[in-house]
Structure 1
Amino acid sequence: MPTSPHPAPEELRRDPLPLRGRTALVTGASRRAGIGHAVARRLAAYGASVYLHHHVPHDTAMPWGADSPEAVADSVREVLGDPGARVVMGPGDLSDPAVPARLIDAVVAEFGRLDILVANHALSGSDGTLDEIDAAMLDAHWAVDTRSVLLLVQAYARSRARLPKGTPGGRVVMMTSGQDMAGGMPGEIAYALQKGALASITRSLSTTLIEHGITVNTVNPGPVDTGYATGEAHAAVAARFPAGRWGVPDDPARLIAWLATDEAGWVTGEVVNSEGGFRR
């Protein structure tokens, strides 16, 4: 960390590969149209080795259908910034409480350590309004959207505790959805509840983990075009952005990749909105 208020010239010259030698896990990186894929590409382009988590059965059940995990991995490999970096993929049903720790163990076994955890996954569907939701919907979203994220962070922190004190690069980025902003998400009560829990726990996790050199931040990417909206609904949302377009997956990916670098080492405990001026 800087010890002078005026960094030396060499400290101000940006490394073109600021994540060289670092390793990352991106969960929910199963679709080339998704945010997880875009994040993984950015991290890889910055020099990191990346482990891509996927759960194909979830996407298969969705209207957009499943993508090929191999195609996603190939897309990330083509932008690797460091010739020595690698891209690995693996499955995992994060609704199973035993899977988060297994996933972290798999990454550590593959790369030797894990530096950057991006918990991008979420459950789609199985939701509704206050009148429509039931206990099963609430439990399903709790298991995937919140419980699995906390268990991932727990297992990640334990893996970092085994590293030498002062090992650089400890980063956790979670994802929320602007559920506490104007209008809320009245049609997705279960999802909004669990994403709100992640936003609320961000500061507590950051206070817990900063002594271990780990920053914890949460990103609200705003409406991002990942293929789930079409026609009039798509046009109506686009009109509410000053730029006249939806966010694209690489918009939040650039922010998340920056949070993973040493340049963001003084940013922790924050919920960061990346909404392009979206008018709610």
Structure 2
Amino acid sequence: MSKLPHPTPDELRREPLPLRGRTALVTGASRRGGIGHAVARRLAAYGASVYLHHHVPHDAAMPWGADRPEDVVASVREAQGDPDARIVAGPGDLADPAAPAELIATAAAALGGRLDILVANHALSGSDGPLDAIDATMLDAHWAVDTRSVLLLVQAYVRQRTGLPQGSPGGRVMMMASGQDIASGMPHEIAYALQKGALASITRSLAPTLAAHGVTVNTVNPGPVDTDYLTGEDHAAVAARFPAGRWGMPDDPARLIAWLATDEAGWVTGEVINSEGGFLR
């Protein structure tokens, strides 16, 4: 039985801009303290052109608030590795069932007509509770934003890739989970945990379909990440449960997601990957 040859020395030397010429859509990038912003910065630093989706009204209604989109874009541009790459942003309410396909089309057009990388980072915050408190409205709201919109984004993303020339750069899809199936779970956020669990569960089922289009799909659980939503004694108590004595920071999962977007991760698909820094649950 023949074996593939070892990579040549030149093939082993990593390209300093491994995503040069690639295009990416990152959803849920409304503020500089969030994971979406950190992912966009990493992808841009690796040479990609990036479209940052935002839904400012959602974050503006939360205790942490929203940044101006132009400030988020400016921060990502500061990190870009390829001066010819494009960094743009646009809005979208992904609770609207028509919005995912519209967003994919808009992002692809803004980045030159092709979309290589999809990072579905957005999620609904609030409107949740324990089993005794949830109701149909809460469940439907989280289903619409956290799960339905992600699957519709993936569907539209794959459809736009079917018309690409053979040999186009390998496609990548990354979805986000929340460790809802680990240890104590998330008993006080039943609606959110349910919908994030659905994404983790569907990852392997999506892999064969996407592979036929030259696309890998993986889901990342970033673990507890300090995105400015917890302070004081509660913040310190969570930090103490990490072996490193600190929270995860947005750039921690961003480094993993950016690597998954490169050719080095081309053999990784259908996986749910935990990036929790050894968090003791």
**Do they superpose with TM above 0.5?**
yes
> In the alignment, does 2:264 pair up with 1:243?
no
Q: Aligned to 2:15, what secondary structure does the other structure show?
A: coil
Shift, 1:77, TM fit: 0.4
Q: What residue is the counterpart of 1:80 in the other structure?
A: 80
Give the match for residue 90 of structure 2: 90
Amino acid at match of 1:84: D
List runs of 5+ in structure 2 lacking aligned partners: none
Alpha-carbon deviations, 1:88-136, whole Å to 9, x = none? 0000000000000000000111121000000000000000000000000
**Pairing 1:107-256 to 2, within 5 Å after superposition:** 107-111=107-111, 112-256=113-257
- Inter-partner Cα distance in structure 2 for 1:103 and 1:272: 26
Give the Å deviation of 1:176. 0.3
Please tell me whether residue 60 in structure 1 is matched to residue 57 in structure 2: no
Give the AA of the match of 1:19.
L
In the alignment, the residues of structure 2 paired with residue 169 and residue 34 of structure 1 have an alpha-carbon distance, to the nearest angstrom, of 27
Paired residues of 1:24 and 1:49 also in contact (CA < 8 A): yes
Render the CA deviation track for 1:8-47: whole Å, top value 9, x for unaligned. 1111000000000000000001110000000000000000
- CA RMSD, Structure 1 to Structure 2 (Å): 0.8
CA distance in 1, matches of 2:5, 2:39: 32
* Equivalent-residue separation in structure 2 for 1:182 and 1:165 (angstroms): 44
SS in 2 for 1:97: coil
Runs of 4+ in 1 over 3 A off after TM superposition: none
**Distance (whole Å) between structure 1 residues aligned to residue 200 and residue 259 of structure 2:** 19
CA deviation vs aligned residue, 1:65-89 (integer Å, no higher than 9, x gap): 1111110000000111011101000
2:16 matched residue in structure 1: 16
- Cα distance in 2 between the residues matched to 1:6 and 1:189: 48
Q: Secondary structure of the residue that 2:184 maps to in structure 1? A: coil
Q: How far does residue 51 in structure 1 lie from its aligned partner after superposition?
A: 0.1
Instruction: Supply the distance in 2 between the matched residues of 1:144 and 1:210 (Cα, whole angstroms).
Output: 25
Q: 1:108 is aligned with what amino acid?
A: A
Q: Which deviates further from its counterpart, 3-12 or 106-115?
A: 3-12
The separation in 1 between residues aligned to 2:45 and 2:247, in whole angstroms, is 24
What TM-score comes out, normalization by structure 2 length?
0.98
Q: What is the identity, as a one-letter code, of the residue corresponding to 2:96? A: D
1:40 equivalent to 2:40? Answer: yes
Q: Kindly provide the amino acid, as one letter, of the partner of residue 225 in structure 1.
A: D
CA distance in 2, matches of 1:4, 1:85: 34
Q: Partners of 2:36 and 2:67 in 1: how far apart?
A: 13
Partner AA of 2:272 in structure 1:
V
Amino acid at match of 1:213: G
The whole-number CA distance in structure 1 between the counterparts of 2:201 and 2:237 is 30
Q: Is the 8 A contact 1:35 1:226 kept in 2?
A: yes
- Mapped partners of 2:80, 2:86: distance in 1: 8
Q: C-alpha deviations, 1:159-196, integer Å up to 9, x for none?
A: 00010123122000000000000000000000000000
Alignment check: 8 A CA contact 1:166 1:213 kept: no
Paired residues of 1:22 and 1:169 also in contact (CA < 8 A): no
State the identity %: 82
Amino acid at match of 1:232: E
Alignment partners' CA distance in 2, 1:80 and 1:255: 18
For 2:250 and 2:66, locate their aligned partners in 1 and report how far apart those are by CA, in whole Å.
17
In structure 2, what residue type is equivalent to 1:42?
R
| Aligned length in residues | 278
Check conservation: 1:219, 1:273, Cα contact below 8 A.
yes
Which whole-Å CA distance do the structure 2 matches of 1:228 and 1:253 have between them?
18
Unaligned runs of 5+ in 1: none
Q: Give the Cα separation in 2 of the matches to 1:168 and 1:19.
A: 10
Of residues 247-256 and 60-69 in structure 1, the stretch that sits farther from structure 2 once superposed is 60-69
- Corresponding residue SS for 1:212: coil
